[in-house]
Amino acid sequence: MKTLVTGCAGFIGSHLVDKLLEQGCEVIGIDCFTDYYQRGTKEANISTAVKNKNFKLIEEDILEMEKYPDVDYVFHLAAQAGVRASWGKSFEIYTRNNVQATQKLLEFYKDLNIKKFVYASSSSVYGDAELPMKENSLLKP
């Protein structure tokens, strides 16, 4: 099974990569290592994966890529974290990294015969919800 994980060096992405590799998958990871998090933290997150022969890291911005790898599954985890960044002077960066990058991936893979495209959202879609939150809670973005 050939899999693409965007945001592969993030906390969730790196754990997903490790699990997929444990299951014997071939994993292609994309991460642009933005300065939103310290680079050393993200490098540590994928330190095990980069030693695995079934893992290939592409360090590039999704929006700058001409085409994407031929895969069976896409796990799109790349995003600019934090709802606060979606307002004010960071709005353009947030929109570029979250909306435009997702749209470009969806457009690329929509007519290809991939088995599944999984988009990871954020707890921000639930707004100020009561805890514990549930997946079927009312959305209040």
pLDDT digits (tens, 9 = 90+) for 3-54: 999 999 999 999 999 999 999 999 999 999 988 778 999 999 999 999 999 9
Q: Which residues contact residue 27 at a Cβ distance below 8 angstroms, ignoring those fewer than 6 apart?
A: 3, 4, 5, 8, 17, 20, 21, 49, 54, 55, 56
Task: For 79-99, write each residue's pLDDT tens digit.
Answer: 877 666 667 777 788 888 888
Q: CA–CA separation, 120 vs 78, rounded Å?
A: 8
**Average of pLDDT values for 122-135?**
72
Tell me, what's the pLDDT at 126? 65
Question: pTM score > 0.75 for this model?
Answer: yes
Which pLDDT score, from 0 to 100, does residue 37 have? 79
CATH architecture of the domain with range 2-126: 3-Layer(aba) Sandwich (3.40)
